[in-house]
Structure 1
Amino acid sequence: MGFLSGLCFSLEKRGRSTGGREEEADDGGEPLELFYELRALQEATNFFSESNLLSRGGFSLIYKGLMPNGQEVAVKKFPLISDQGLIEFTNEVKLLLKAQQKNLVALLGCCAEGYEMILVHEYLPNGSLEDILFEKIAHLDWPKRFQIITGVARGLLYLHEEAPQRIIHGDIKARNILLDEQLNPKIANLGMARFLHWTDPYGYMAPKYLMHRNLSVKTDVFNFGVLVLEIISGERIYDWHGRGETDFLSYAWMLFQGGRSLDLVDPSLDEWDFGEVAMCIQLGLLCCQGSAEERPDMSCVHLMLSSDSSTLPIPGKPSGVSGGIVNDNDENSFSFSSIYEGR
């Protein structure tokens, strides 16, 4: 546990020595601490009560907490009994220390006291995009959907090209997009990148990752493309019943080829911007191309979403998705041991 204590000490030291958003006190006085005492987190979560439980992850439990100052937080608790949980914890702290951007869920601090491993994140009251989009907890009109698409693209651009070290998320999907009060998206679970489960029915994973544990930025681009088409259609890709033997991506491409792209639009949408929807469908298909080299990088994606005059290439048939596996032909993937890279 010495390493974890040292890690949290570095968090505390970082809070004192840098001028970032989380570290500066509201009154201009001493910087805020990034280390939380276990007792304070126990009291904030009613001693990790089941009634405070927000979600269960592969190696973690997330609780809603209320701090004495009235701040609501999400408390992510890792079981020490899992060696993978220990690695995930340290990995996520390292990643999040390097990644601070408005479309990423903010890390507020951590606790490594006794045998507890805990991360403290900002609390996002609207939960995940998965719940709202697929479980129909609330209605998302087209402007909100487009806002979510552009926000996720901006967050991925930061991870890939603007963070102090390049970060590959590896598990972009609706479950890992959280929404704030204004339904602005924030990418969650950066530390899960090393621990994707190929049995997860809601993740999109390339065979080369499964075989060689390699990821690339183009893996994130593919997953983003799938997410875009899910947001437009309101359907989860693995809930798709298809048309005959056609999978969701092939169906979307056939509609595009036949000039009927708008048939993909969620029927619950009463109004939408024709140009934006058509552009997003075409962009989603481009991101899902079978060859990684044919997919745009996130800087191009962001430019396409931000420009009214961009002319998009015509996409070929996208890579198929079957049984949780993306048929990804990426030859330039990054090593599993280098999920984040020095610049």
Structure 2
Amino acid sequence: LQIKAATNNFATDNNIGEGGFGPVYKGLLADGTAIAVKQLSSKSKQGNREFINEIGMISALQHPNLVKLYGCCIEGNQLLLIYEYLENNSLARALFEHRLKLDWPTRRRICLGIARGLAYLHGESRIKVVHRDIKATNVLLDKDLNSKISDFGLAKLDEEENTHISTRVAGTIGYMAPEYAMRGHLTEKADVYSFGIVALEIVSGRSNVTKEDMFYLLDWALVLKEQGKLMELVDTNPGSNFDKEQVMVMINVALLCANASPTIRPSMSSVLRMLECGVDVLDLVSDSSVSDIDETKAEAMRKYYQFCVENTASTTQSTSSIYGPPPGSSTAGVDLHPFSVDSDRLLE
């Protein structure tokens, strides 16, 4: 009843997004606290799984760069997750829909916040967690544009004795590490890869994958690196007043994180140190990032993406950030089962 009252009985005017399994509403508690209420259907197997996983994971995690889960409840066929409300929605909306003008210091701070949150998940929290779906849609921004990682519906415990080989791959095309997307091999280095892609998006203001022209930001960045023109990657919308040295550090750290080989990718704690200290990472981003072996892996990944795109007849369920995309639009997070991919959801 309290949640119904807070959302004005889930009024359309309070709908702030559409998740993969139901709508998300803004609410206002009696004490004036703003909340975001995510609805999941109990009739959906994936919805139930996400509900349980989200409660189990995020209730044990507390960090300034993770979205707070206030509570949960079950009402009829509806599973409700109640989160803190973040005024500036998702990083994806800010970057790709130009909802906000993000200057360079803000972009750097957002990137550092994501890195801090992941470093906490991987090594500083009581439980070690692999998020599995790091992307701009799942990074939310508060009123001060501080970044917070959201959506732990796909997260997995990182257990030392676990072989990390999964027959059920879940995530978002364009952000999944090659070894995980193609072989189901999951470690925290999969999150590092995803972070590298998001960092490139923050620098460039462009999405890694666009449906219109099958453009891959990572491919473009590697070409520019080979040509010695990495500064062409930088988004000019915030203006020319940015620290070139800091930008180059972020780009090179991002490329190191997005290396096709998981053994070359640094830990998130190392990434955080590199970004904070502004160390010279040019030597670390060696030719191995575009070596013959890595290029073979990259080509295999591109073919895998293309296969997913061409299989439009099959369907799959999807997840999204707490707020999800705007009402009526599709989501990008998916459970990837062999030969069963919905390309519209993968690439939008």
TM-score range, shorter chain: 0.7 to 0.9
What is the one-letter code of the residue matched to 1:112? I
Match of 1:6 in 2: none
**Does 1:119 find its partner at 2:81?**
yes
> For 1:274-313, what aligned pairs fall within 5 Å after superposition?
274-312=244-282, 313=284
Contact 2:206–2:217 (CA under 8 A) maintained in structure 1: no
Instruction: Please report how far the alpha carbon of residue 314 of structure 1 lies from its aligned counterpart in structure 2 after TM superposition.
Output: 2.4
Question: What CA distance in whole angstroms lies between the structure 1 residues aligned with 2:139 and 2:247?
Answer: 20
Question: What CA distance in whole angstroms lies between the structure 1 residues aligned with 2:74 and 2:28?
Answer: 19
Question: What CA distance in whole angstroms lies between the structure 2 residues aligned with 1:157 and 1:98?
Answer: 16
Match of 1:149 in 2: 111
Match of 2:221 in 1: 252
Q: Residues 233 and 84 of structure 1: is their aligned pair in 2 closer, same or farther, counting only changes over 3 Å?
A: same
Question: What CA distance in whole angstroms lies between the structure 1 residues aligned with 2:224 and 2:177?
Answer: 25
Instruction: Please report how far the alpha carbon of residue 51 of structure 1 lies from its aligned counterpart in structure 2 after TM superposition.
Output: 1.7
1:205 to 154, 176, 198: 176
In structure 1, the residue corresponding to 2:259 is in which secondary structure?
coil
In structure 2, the residue corresponding to 1:77 is in which secondary structure?
strand
Q: Which ranges of structure 1 fall in alignment gaps of 5 or more residues?
A: 1-38, 327-343
Q: TM-score, normalised by structure 2?
A: 0.75
Whose Rg is larger?
1
Contact 2:209–2:216 (CA under 8 A) maintained in structure 1: no
Match of 2:46 in 1: 84
Alignment: residue pair count: 285
Contact 1:101–1:158 (CA under 8 A) maintained in structure 2: yes
Contact 2:16–2:24 (CA under 8 A) maintained in structure 1: yes
Q: Which runs of 4+ in 1 moved over 6 A?
A: none
Q: Which ranges of structure 2 fall in alignment gaps of 5 or more residues?
A: 157-167, 307-348
Higher relative contact order (CA 8 A, sep 6+): 2
Question: What CA distance in whole angstroms lies between the structure 2 residues aligned with 1:262 and 1:129?
Answer: 22
Question: What CA distance in whole angstroms lies between the structure 1 residues aligned with 2:303 and 2:31?
Answer: 47
Question: What CA distance in whole angstroms lies between the structure 1 residues aligned with 2:31 and 2:123?
Answer: 36
Match of 2:145 in 1: 183
In structure 1, the residue corresponding to 2:247 is in which secondary structure?
helix
Contact 2:203–2:233 (CA under 8 A) maintained in structure 1: yes
In structure 1, the residue corresponding to 2:116 is in which secondary structure?
helix
**Does 1:65 find its partner at 2:13?**
no
Q: CA RMSD in A?
A: 2.6
Q: Residues 173 and 116 of structure 1: is their aligned pair in 2 closer, same or farther, counting only changes over 3 Å?
A: same
**1:177-200 alpha-carbon deviations (Å, 9 max, x no partner):** 0000110000010123379756x5
Instruction: Please report how far the alpha carbon of residue 261 of structure 1 lies from its aligned counterpart in structure 2 after TM superposition.
Output: 1.1
Q: TM-score, normalised by structure 1?
A: 0.76
What is the one-letter code of the residue matched to 1:190? F
Match of 1:322 in 2: 302
Match of 1:215 in 2: 186
Contact 1:207–1:325 (CA under 8 A) maintained in structure 2: no
Match of 2:16 in 1: 54
What percentage of aligned pairs have identical amino acids? 40
**Does 1:131 find its partner at 2:93?**
yes
Instruction: Please report how far the alpha carbon of residue 239 of structure 1 lies from its aligned counterpart in structure 2 after TM superposition.
Output: 2.4
